[in-house]
Amino acid sequence: MTDSPITARSPRDGIAHHAARAVSALIITVVLLGVCWALEVVNYGGGLTRDYGIQPHNVNALWHIFTAPFLHANLDHIMANSVPLAILGFLTALRGLGRFVTVSLIVMVVSGLGVWLLAASNVVTVGASGLIFGYFGYLLARGFFERRILDILLGVVIALVYGTMIFGVLPGQPGISWQAHLFGLIGGVLAARLTRSRSGPAALPPAL
């Protein structure tokens, strides 16, 4: 009885695979930023902010946790968020569209609920900072849960470059939603835990 053939991936195949992942992540990032900027243009005057931002304790507007991350208060707001959203979003998207969407949804739910429950009732919250802190937390925690050297090294680099972001989870900064930041970070860590790769048991050798 002959053994099953074993196919080995050549270095060129590996490079092509990683290049395809990088291109896909770039497209995802461009689309994400494009949506935010397009909505900023449409939102001139702030009507969408008032209608689709997170309105704490308003049950009828609870679903706004899925719209608020793509809206911003003004041009300065979206400009401040665009670079970290692009970098951290791209690194998160390198694992593929499915993983990116799952992580994003977990972060939006956890961050949005934190704002909805704890923010003042007279404050409408918008902005991608919850997502940014979520991607930050995801990238930091992924190496811990995945146990992969590259993920651990990436987490270390992210911590060195963006480590000061952690102060954004502290209350007391006027005009800043610490709830979105804190619960976005928590959501990112939770997403890393829930989406971690699970290696199945080693395959048994074929019977002879």
Q: What is the pLDDT of residue 134?
A: 97
DSSP conformation class of 17: H
Alpha-carbon distance of 140 to 148, in angstroms, equals 12
CA dihedral for 40, 46, 47, 49, sign (positive or negative): positive
pLDDT at 58 (0 to 100): 95
**What pLDDT digit, counting tens, does each position of 128-154 carry?**
999 999 999 999 999 889 888 988 999
Domains delineated in the chain: 12-194 (1.20.1540.10)
Q: How far is 150 from 35, CA to CA, in rounded Å?
A: 31
Q: Which of 98, 131, 97 is nearest to 112 (CA)?
A: 131
Q: How confident is the model at residue 200 (pLDDT cuts 50, 70, 90)?
A: very low
Dihedral, CA of residue 139, residue 141, residue 145 and residue 147, to nearest 10: 70
pLDDT attached to residue 35: 97
Residue 125, classed as helix, strand or coil, is strand
Predicted confidence band at 198 (pLDDT cuts at 50, 70, 90)?
low
| pTM, to two decimals | 0.87
* pLDDT (tens digit per residue) in 157-166: 999 998 888 8
Question: What is the chain's length?
Answer: 208
% of the chain at pLDDT higher than 70: 88
The predicted pLDDT at position 71 comes to 96
Q: Could you tell me if 94 and 163 are in contact, meaning their C-beta atoms sit under 8 angstroms apart?
A: no
Full DSSP string of 35-85 = HHHHHHHHTTTSHHHHHHSB-TT-GGGGGGGGTGGG--SSHHHHHHHHHHH
At residue 202 the predicted structure's pLDDT band, cuts being 50, 70 and 90, is very low
pLDDT tens string 8-59: 556 666 688 778 889 999 999 999 999 999 999 999 888 899 899 999 999 9
In this structure, are residues 124 and 55 in contact, taking their beta carbons and an 8 Å threshold? yes
Average pLDDT over residues 91-114: 96
| pLDDT value of position 166 | 86
